[in-house]
Structure 1
Amino acid sequence: MSDFRDEAELSKDVAVRNFPLFAPKIIAKHARILRDGVVEVKDLGQLEFRNGRFLMPRHCGPNIRQAIVELNELLRPPVAPV
């Protein structure tokens, strides 16, 4: 059973990586390597990712929505030709 202290210790391990500009390939590579965490992009704010995919916030502007869609497209594995 999970304890509050366990969750607090896990949250301390997650570091926020700051990006001074929106560089989708670098941000996607970071999410692919770490799998879970938060990145902060200067003009977009904090973007959370879990299991190597960026999560869409409930309320966000069109520029944030477009950035998350673009990042998740980069993280999608390529389809092998038949």
Structure 2
Amino acid sequence: MPPTRATTTRGKGAVRWLAGRTTHRYAEADIPYFWRIETEAGIVVHAHKLDPMKRIYVEQARMADGILLPEPWEIDIPLDRITPRSR
């Protein structure tokens, strides 16, 4: 069964161009949802959905207080009690 969601976590000093190359591979593999999690200043979750016609990801939401999404399944996770791993 192919994956339905991919998650990439990036923190301080991450190489930005890697995300574009990675998401392109996810799109080629028909992964319909992609989350990018940034941890530089707290936690920010970027949720993306694959546009099947254009074969690119479109941002659905940018969340800093909590993850609240209706798809690929209903999810509600508060982020205030989660702290990024120390470096």
Q: Does the pair score TM above 0.5?
A: no
TM-score of the pair, normalised by structure 1 = 0.41
Q: Which has the larger radius of gyration?
A: 1
Bigger relative contact order (CA 8 A; separation at least 6): 1
Structure in which a larger fraction of residues adopt strand: 2
TM-score of the pair, normalised by structure 2 = 0.39
Structure in which a larger fraction of residues adopt helix: 1
